[in-house]
Amino acid sequence: MRRCLLLVLQILVLHAFAGTPDNPSQQQANQLLEQSVTLAEQFSPGDHVYFLYTLTSAAVDIAPKSKREQWCTQMFRLASQMEPSWNRVAQQKKCIDLSF
């Protein structure tokens, strides 16, 4: 999980200097986003949902809206695999809030 969080930090730093979508730093930020999403697939559903929420929140100005919507759908499905609890409901609500 640390490695994925470090990737998110790298993404934010790259984005701060990116400027335009055609900038190599912007392209590198998008590649790091994809790598971190792939790494997160190893997590438990609860950790995976939390990570995707953090990533999607951080990527609002980086990733295309279609990609963020895809992650929100994935988060909602993963949250459905969590133990029935208020935490599960809260995570599903976050997914809906992020998708708009």
pTM score above 0.85: no
Q: Give residue limits of the domains in the chain.
A: 2-98
Residue 39 neighbours by CB under 8 Å, 6+ apart: 3, 4, 7
pLDDT tens-place string over residues 57-98: 888 877 888 888 888 888 888 888 888 888 888 888 887 877
- Residue 9 — pLDDT band, cuts 50, 70, 90? low
Distances (CA, A) of 51 to 11, 20, 23: 14, 26, 26
Question: Tokens 């993963």 identify what position?
Answer: 78
DSSP state, residue 20: S
- For the chain, the average pLDDT equals 78
Question: Is pLDDT at 37 greater than 80 in this prediction?
Answer: yes
DSSP state, residue 44: -
